[in-house]
Structure formats: C-alpha cells, structure tokens
Amino acid sequence: MTSQLYSGLAILTAGVAAIFMTGCGSGSGPSNSSDEAFVDSILSTLSLADKVGEMTQLTLGAIGTGEAYNLSEPQHLDSAKVRKVLVDYRVGSILNCGNHEHSPEKWHEFIEVIQEAASQKSSGIPVLYGVDAIHGPTYTENGVLGPQQIGLGATWNPAVAKTAAKNTAEQVHALGIHWNFSPVLDLARDPRWPRFWETFGEDPYLVSEMGTAMVEGYQYSGVPFAATLKHFFGYGFALSGKDRTPAWIPERQMREYFLPPFAKAVEAGAMSIMVNSGEINGVPVHSSKFLLTEILRGDLGFDGVLVTDWEDIKYLFTRHMVAENYKQATKMAIDAGIDMAMVPLDLDFSNILMELVNEGEISESRLDQSVRRILMMKKKLGLFESNGLPPSLDAYPAKEKFESAAARAALESITLLKNEPKDGATVLPIMGNKKIFVTGPTSNSLNALNGGWTGTWQGTDTAYNTVGRPTMVESMVMRLGAERIEHMDLGMDFSDQEIQRVVRSIQRQRPSHVVLGLGEMPYTEMVGNIEDLELFENQKNLVKAVHATGVKVVAVFIEGRPRTFDEIEPMLDAVVMAYLPGDYGADAIAQVLDGSYNPSGRLPFTWPRHASAHLTYDHKYTEQIHVNFTLEGFNPQYEFGAGLSYSSTAFSGLKTDRAAYGMNDTIIVSVTIANTGERLTNELVAVFSQDKVASITPSVDRLRHFQRVILDAGEETVASARISVAELGFINRENKYVVEPGTFGIRVGNEIVDIEVFQKNK
C-alpha cells in the first residue's frame, strides 16, 4: 500500500512571487463587490470622530466597575464608562476578559450591554470583540482546553491543529466573540524566550503548515470567526532571549526564516495580524513602514486588519525612546501602517489622532484605508447582520462535543524521549501490579498542565481551574488503581528536607517505579523571563536522590520550553515530554505511562544539552566545529523530530523517481516503512533536503514535507512525496528567492539519496 506524504500548499512554488517579490496574495480572502459597496457606503457617512473610534481598541477593564486591574466582583459594566467609550468616543473594538474567566451567561451580559451601547452612537456600527483563546475558550468557565501550541506542534498533524481551532471558534463564537488573537507564527529558535510554548516549533515549514491549518480551522469553522497572526514578526528571536527585547535580524534571514509562515497564512486568508512588540535592528516594528507596509502589504499582499499589541504605540516613547511624546509616537505608528491601536486603558490615542488629522499631520484618506479594512472585517464576520449580539444561550454547545478532540490532541502530543532497558525490559510502559511512587512539583497541578492564558493571563490562579479535570497523579490513580499509587506533594520551592522525606518513603515502600513530575509552573510574557535555562537545582537534586535508591526513575516534563538537564539525564531510565497538554493532558500522560496508548509525539524543536550551547537542527556546517576541532559541535540532548514509541519502525529503500531534474520539475520521493513491533504505531515521516554547495552557506538540513503514517503490527508500507524543485531554494545575497543548480541530498531518517538539479529542464 502507498501513503501520499502530506505537503499542503507549497510555499515556494505558486506562492514564491507573492512571498518574496511583488506580492499578489489577499490577506483576508476575496471580497465580493456587494461587500465592498456596502463598506464604502458606510465609510462615506462617517465623521472623523467615527473613523478615529473605529481605529481604537480598549480593554474590558476600561469600562468595568472598579479599577481596571482590580474590578469589583462580581463584575459588571459601568454605564457611565460604557457611554463615554462607546457612544461619545465611538470606540470600535473591545478586548480581553477583565482579569479572569467568566461563565457564558456573564459573557452574554457583557456583549449585549456593549452592543446595545454601540447601537446608540451616530454610526451604529457594532463593536468587534477580541480575546486570546489560544488553546480553547481560555476565558470561559468549563471550556474545553486542549494542548498549547507547542504541544500541537509535537503532533506534527495539521488536521489536529485545524480541529482544535475549529472547536475553539465554535465555543468562542457562541459567547458573542468573533475575533481571536491566535495563532502564533513566531519561530521557537531560542528556548530562553518565555513565549516559546506559544509557538509550533523551530522550523519555518512546520510552523507554516500547522499555522495555516489553524487559520483554516478558525475561519472556515462554520461560524463567522477571525484569526490573528502573531506576532509580525521576529518577536521570538530576541538577542537576550527575554520577552520584548531587541532582535538583530538581517533582511536575508528575515525573508528566509521568519516571513514564510506569515506568507503562507496570509495566502490562506487570515483576516488580521498583530504586530511584534519588540524592535528589529534598532527599529521598533510599530514604527517601521518598511516592515508593515512595504513587506507586509506589498510583498506579502496582506489587506486585512493590522492591530498593535498591548499599549505598544505608547511604548514608542516610554520604552523604545524613538518618539518624544505620545503624539509623535501615534504619527509614527499610523504612518507605518497600523490600523487599530490596542490602547488599551485610556482615550488619549483617540484625542491625539483627531489632533493629528485636524492639524494636517495625517490625512483623513490615510484613516480611510484603515477604517475600510476594519469595516470589511466586521462585514465578513456578520456583525452588521447580527448587530454584534451573541447567539441564543439555548444553543450554547455542550462541552461533550469537543472533549474527545482535545483528549486526542493531548495523546498525540506526548513525546517519549528515552526508554532504557532495565531488568530485562524497557522501563515503560509500566507493567505488573507493584506500587508506583509519584512526586515532583508538577505531578499534582492542573495549572502546570495548562500553562498561561488559562482562566487568567498567567494561568496560576487555582480558583479558575476547570472543575473536575484531574492532575497527573489523579489520572494515574484512575488508570492504575489507588492501591498502587503513593504520592507525595512537592511545591516548586521544595527543600532538601522534603527530598529526604521522599527518599525515606521510597526506601520504605520499594515501588517498582518512581514517576517524577518535573518542569515549570505557568507564566507568559515578561513574567517568564529567566536568567538560566538549566532545570531548577532542587529538581536535579531530587533526581539524584531518587536515583540513588536504585528504583526505576521516570521523568515527566510538564513545561513549555526545554530546560537543560544533562547532568542528571543518565540517572533517568525514561523521559517523557508532555509540554502543556491542557485539561485532558493528565489522562494522556497516564495512558502513555501504562501503555494504553503507544506514544507518537515528536519534538518540534531541538532540546539543548547545555544551557549556553543551543543550536537548531538547520544549523550551518561551521557551527559543528567543536572545541577539539572535530565536527561534534552539534550535540543536543534530543534532536528535532525525536521521539520513541513502544513499537519500533525502520525506514529503508529511499529513492527518487530519477536522478536529475530541471527547475520546473517535481521530485517524487518514496521510502519503505516497516513496523517491526507488536503494536499499532503512528509514525512520523519527515523529508529533509540538503543543498550541497550554494552561494549562501547552506544549512545541514531543511524540512520539506511530513506526514503521519499509521501501521499495524508487522505492517510495511511505501510512503511517497511530491516535492517541487522550486521548494529547494533560499534567499540569496540580493535578498531574492532562488534555486541554484547543483547536487542536493534527500533524507528520511538515516536514509539519504543524492539528486542533481540543472538550470534547464532535461
């Protein structure tokens, strides 16, 4: 049997011109003439104040009772604030959640009050509400929360990402919210970066495929719903590794690595994009006409809504120091191409923008460009037809409809990285009926499983956890039986004395396995900045002490980035990476540990062995030079794409349909995959290419295609891929996309074949 490798739309074939040259894509999909006529008819009636209002976005806290960051509970909207913001200032967009999640009933209350007020302003244009529902309806009580993006990336399955987005869209739309600030298309190139876990991984092609699938899930879900691509662009490549700090990215690297995911998602019709809060090469992105207009609008052809991140226009003069005051900062941002300002707490932006137009510093026709885009987005989302009012609560979807997909996504993400033989068998799965000792700081925490943007922004408040969802140890009790599980709670700051208590318990009970829940507790953005990528010292000490007891040790990492642990890795008999798998992740972990599920996740990033020696899989040849002048400099703990299962597979017979190709040809690659084990397995087939000689130093490997292939025990199949020669190119010294003739390697697993590419077709 033959399995066609998943390829999606080839980013460097039909899309080459749109991505890197003149740009002819459509950022929000085709607009029909009736929509355009409708929008133009409304725009022609708007006053300057109406237009400025449409370009202004405030947070829910700005119109709630009490202080913005300390709203009165239970939360309600302040009628005077609502009138001032929505009627007097005509603000066109509201975002966020007022600091924590709400019931669907409360969301309906908010949306109805907001839209009723919007109907009273002179234009009557409904408000566009936005929220960060990044792994399910994150700010809704008892919403179905699946894996964070890094976990979805570990599935290497665009269909899983698409379903997750579709289910999120249906649940969030039912609240009366039509705009989601997701997906993140930043690359996970530096694990120090605290938003690493919000990405799909380190590779542009993987991020492109998964991100596009998520856009399609959001926007073609059967309900009117908009995706937002974040964060345009280079946000995650800060030189310091810390959030919102400067990035140094030459234009060639920008076009080679960081633009393709956005280009692919723009081509798929993404309706909006959020701007990188940081700066690139000394220029804050919010002030760069080159990046936001020439590159994004021109080269990529984006014609949707471009929104700032939180307070970022103001930061041009309070943080970046490129503007003298708010007025100069506002002019910079609007001139650069911003459509909507996430203010988010005051109305100074509106007043200043009015002044700038009245003084002739910004033309009203420039505002018309942005307002037309905003109105078109509102039209496509059906706000004019529904007046922005939410659907009936009676039709609110039951969570049971979405739970199996979230649980499946969690299962497919869990990645087995090490599984050593001991006492005649591999340590996992856990067999027999002996006792199992479970401990570690993440072993009994639902917050750890979910991460940030869950119930609250930082995801740390247990008061907003989903009722009834289990922690890892609770799921192990349910799966393996309470009589087999002994647990000892440890907080993140556990002491040496507590470690000794653990050791004494292990020595007394002599369990067959000790399962350690290691990793991090939730964080996001600047709160997650770190000074050291090493795993916490007390966690390493815990491993050392438990290892000394002689019991089999299994580490389950529940974390959003790879913390380095080379010192203790040899002391661990098995290593499982769970990422941030969500509310259904505990049961997924338990199923992998007891063997109910054969693990299939694969790393979407390279796990560094040492904190200061991180290289991505697509490094350059010179980066392999080691201190002893050998080519052993690339020595990660686990490589990109790494992952084991309980049923071994083997690749063989890699071949191409011929040995030489012209520039317009398609390479047909095939490889035999055999499941040599005794269980059904879900294997990753990833196809890489190597440019042997190029005018720009080539990477040692570049991912070109991937697919999941399911094989029964003992089954063998041939997987095939069609790779356009046009996909083998790079950005050259003139910042143009080229494919150069020469020798290329094609790799699947350890199998490699060489091909020749000629300037002309043969």
Q: What are the residue numbers of the active site?
A: 309
Cα-to-chain-centroid distance, residue 423: 40
State the CB neighbour count (10 A cutoff) for residue 567.
13
Angle subtended by helix axes 158-173 and 400-413, to nearest 10: 150
Task: Kindly tell me the burial class for residue 541, based on how many C-beta atoms sit within 10 Å of its own C-beta (0-12, 13-18, 19 or more).
Answer: middle
d(CA 301, CA 24): 5
Residue closest to 406 by CA, chosen among 459, 469, 453, 448: 469
Cα-to-chain-centroid distance, residue 380: 25
What residue type is 506 in one-letter code? I
Angle subtended by helix axes 348-358 and 364-380, to nearest 10: 130
Helices (H), 381-495: 383-386, 400-413, 446-450, 472-480
DSSP string, 678-694: SS-EEEEEEEEEEESS-
Helix (H, G, I), strand (E, B) or coil at 244: coil
d(CA 222, CA 218): 9
The answer to whether 624 and 653 are in contact (CB under 8 A) is no
d(CA 366, CA 377): 18
d(CA 331, CA 363): 11
State the CB neighbour count (10 A cutoff) for residue 80.
10
d(CA 188, CA 258): 11
The answer to whether 90 and 121 are in contact (CB under 8 A) is yes
Does the CA dihedral 624-627-632-636 come out positive or negative? negative
Instruction: Show Cβ contacts of residue 34 under 8 Å, excluding neighbours closer than 6 positions.
Output: none
Q: Tell me how far CA of residue 29 lies from CA of 226, 380, 639, in angstroms.
A: 12, 10, 38
Instruction: Show Cβ contacts of residue 308 under 8 Å, excluding neighbours closer than 6 positions.
Output: 274, 275, 286, 333, 338, 340, 341, 342
d(CA 610, CA 598): 30
Q: Tell me how far CA of residue 190 lies from CA of 98, 210, 237, 611, 632, in angstroms.
A: 32, 19, 7, 11, 20
What residue type is 678 in one-letter code? E
Residues paired with residue 261 on neighbouring β-strands, in sequence order: none
Strands 649-656 and 681-691: unpaired
Residue closest to 477 by CA, chosen among 342, 593, 330: 593
